[in-house]
Amino acid sequence: MSNDVRVNWAGNLTYSAGAVARPSTPQELSELVAGADRVKALGSRHSFCDVADTTGTHVLLDAYDDGRPAVAVDPGSGVASLRAGLLYGQAGAALLDQGRALRTMASLPHISLAGAVATATHGSGDTNGCLARDVVGVEIVTADGGTRTFRRGDADFPGAVVALGALGVVTRVEMATDPAFEVSQDVVVDLPWEALLGDLDAVTGAAYSVSAFTLWGEDTVSQVWLKSRAGDAAHSYGADAAGVSRWSAREVLLDLGARDAPGPMHPLAGEDPAASTVQGGVAGPAHERLPHFRAEHKPSTGAELQSEYLVPRERAADAIEAMRGLGAAVRPLLFASEIRTVAGDDLWLSPFDGDTLALHFTWKPHADAVRAVLHDLEDALLPLGARPHWGKIFVASPRDVAAMFPRFADFAALADRLDPHGKFRGGYVTEILSA
C-alpha cells in the first residue's frame, strides 16, 4: 500500500499530474481551480484505473478547512454535513460522538467520502444502496472558482453525485444518517453452493449485510460474513408474522449447511485476521463492524488489482454459474472474490438502477494476465447486463460502457455546461466523455 501521492494506493498506476496542491482555505482552492488549465481532486487513491487522473494539478483536501465543523448534524433531519476529504472511518467515529451513524459502509474505512461517492462505491446488504445513495447534497467548486451546491430535488442532482470528478472539486457532502446503532458480526465457512443458488434470498437476507467469499474453484463457498444490526428483525430470515426473529443470521447459514468459522478470519487466505473487524457475534459501533477491515490496519493485501461487475439481481444465478464455469481460468490469479448485494438508486451514473448482485475480484498484481482473463469474464457477464465499477480495472470500451447508462447523454451535457473547456477531464473521464 503506497503512501506516495504520485501513485495510487495499490501502486499499479502512476499519475500524470505535473503538480500536487493542498489548499487550506476556500479562497486558496477557488483561486487554484479558476487559474488552472487542468485540475482534478484526488482522494484516498483507491481507484485501480485512471478515473481520477489529470495532466495538470492534483488537489488534495486533507488540509482543507472551510471554517465549518468537519462533521455537523442537523438535529431535526439527521442530515450530516461532512468535509469531503474525510475518510469514512473518521466520519463514522465523529458521527458516533453526535449520536448518529452512517447507514452503510464499504469493506474498508480508509477511503474518502468524495471519492467513494463519485465512483458509486458500496458495501453490501439487500436494502443497502451504494454510499452515494445516502447523499442529499453535494457542494462543488466549479471551473470558474465559484461554489455550487446541488441538493436532492434539483433537476441535475442525480447527475452531480456519482460524477467521476468531472464537474469540479467536491468540498462537502450532505448525507442522511441514522441514530447510532450497533452491529455484530459472525463468520461461517463451507456453505454448499447448492444452498446459495437454491435460496439466494435466504442467504443474502439473513443479516443486514452479507458477503460471501470464494475462489470459484472450490466445492463450497469458503466464507460468509454476516453483519447483523442490533434489534433489527426486518433483516432476520425466519421472522414470524409479528416480525420477531426466530433465528439468528448465523443459525440460518448453519441450517443451510455451513459451519462456524474456527476462529477470527481474514477475507484473503494467509493474511493476518488481526486486520479484520471484530467477529464472534460481539456487538460494537456500526462504523467498526460494517467494514471488513479495521481503520488502524492495512486493508486487504496492498499490492493487488481489483475488478468488480454489477449484475441485475434477476440474473444473479446466471452470473454465479457463469463465474463457476470460469473458475479454472480465474482462480490462479485471485487473492479472493466476493459476492455482495446492493439496493438500487436513481443516480445517473450509478450502476445500481435496480437491485444488484456485485461480483468483486481481488487479483494478484499480474496486470497482463488479469486483463487477458477479463475479456473472458466480460464476455460471460456483460450479456447478463453487468456494468463495471468505475474505479476498478475492466476492458470494455468507453463507448460500450457509456451505452450501459440510459442517462449518460444527460450527464455529458451537464459536464459540458459546468466545465465547457474540460478543465476537470483527464484519464478515463476524457475517454468516456469523448466516446
Cβ-contact 70, 94 below 8 angstroms: yes
As beta bridge partners, residue 239 has: 245
Look at residue 302 in the predicted model and tell me its pLDDT.
Answer: 77
Residue-range domains of the chain with CATH = 182-388 (3.30.70.2520)
Give the C-alpha separation, 430 to 89, whole Å. 31
Q: Give the per-residue pLDDT at 435.
A: 86
Cα–Cα distance measured from residue 426 to residue 415, given in angstroms and rounded to the nearest whole number = 13
Judged against a pLDDT cut of 80, whether residue 166 lies above it is answered with yes
Confidence bin at 246 (pLDDT 50/70/90): low
Q: Confidence class of residue 299 from pLDDT cuts 50, 70 and 90?
A: confident
Strand duo 147-151 + 135-141: pairing: antiparallel
Short-list 360, 350, 431, 348, CA closest to 397: 431
Write the pLDDT tens digit of every residue in 64-87.
999 999 999 999 999 999 999 999
Report the pLDDT value the prediction gives residue 234, as an integer from 0 to 100. Answer: 45
> In angstroms, how far is CA 27 from the centroid of its own chain?
31
Q: Inform me whether the pLDDT recorded for 232 exceeds 80.
A: no
Residue percentage of the chain with pLDDT more than 90: 91
Handedness of CA 312, 389, 403, 407 (dihedral sign): positive
Nearest to 100 by CA among 123, 126, 74, 122: 74
Mean pLDDT on 299-303: 79
